[in-house]
Amino acid sequence: MWNFKNAARELAPVVRAFPAHPVQVLKAMPDEWRQRMGRTSVQDADFDPDWNEHLHGLLGAPWPCPEVKRLRDLLEEVGQLLTEKGFGTGLHTYGWYSDADVDMCTAIWCAVRHTQPETVLETGVAHGVSSRVILEGLNLNERGRLWSIDIANPLNFAVHGQEGAAVTEECRRRWTYVEGESSKRMPPLVKEIGKVDLFIHDSLHTFKNTLFEMEQAASVMQAGAVMLVDDIRSHDGFTVFARRHPEFKTIYVSTLDGIGAIGIAVRS
């Protein structure tokens, strides 16, 4: 919830960063404001309480899912690793940004394990919780590669160097980290890899950026490909994409905390 106490805590690193990096801070602030103050036309009734079962139906995967324990054990391991490193897990642990929550990790894990993707693309890394989940799944599959696009937190320089901290050395052999803004990095990367089987958006959550990334990924997605889009309560990017692309079957997910929301789109 946005209040004075939260605002003071979150603005403090921005104030500290501004004297040394005024151009970068001023460039990042407008989109940060849009990300915070955006609104969506999605209603509570649009969210599917049985989303996980319905996702498995779209994927043609068994239900109940046999992968539950593996994911639970992995998330416990990841949480312990980040705690030992002094970074912590959960909300607002990468500056005021957060790593992927349990619902997003569940959707990612099941998509990776059940669809056996060759090419996975994500935007947004932070501590790399989602990256680790993807890579562990690819390792179990014994196939596939992950490309991740991200920049270090532009408004909190105290957390720089923590990017990808959850990703172990064993997992990195299947990982390519692409540093930069998705608006610049994604078009040439999509052209280079030629096909995306699974796309995860967890970068700048504005209407313009989310819709841009989804369109880029969709341009090289074939039948059975999956998109997972975080934080769809803050804008109508996901809804507009779904309206433009009826070839994608969509599911709206309200996360366990009742604050976040995820959009799932599976190409039919």
Q: What is residue 1's predicted lDDT score, i.e. its pLDDT? A: 42
Provide the CATH number for the domain formed by 4-267 in this structure.
Answer: 3.40.50.150
20 token code pair: 């040394």
Domain boundaries, the chain: 4-267
Q: What is residue 9's predicted lDDT score, i.e. its pLDDT? A: 62
pLDDT in tens, the chain (268 residues): 445 455 556 667 767 767 777 777 677 677 777 877 778 899 998 999 999 999 999 999 999 999 999 999 999 999 999 999 999 887 788 877 889 999 999 999 999 999 999 999 999 999 999 999 999 999 999 999 999 999 988 877 888 999 999 999 999 999 999 999 999 999 999 999 999 999 999 999 999 999 999 999 999 999 999 999 999 998 999 999 999 999 999 999 999 877 789 999 999 9
Q: What is residue 6's predicted lDDT score, i.e. its pLDDT? A: 59
Q: What is residue 5's predicted lDDT score, i.e. its pLDDT? A: 55
Q: What is residue 2's predicted lDDT score, i.e. its pLDDT? A: 45
- Gap between the Cα atoms of 102 and 73, Å rounded: 12
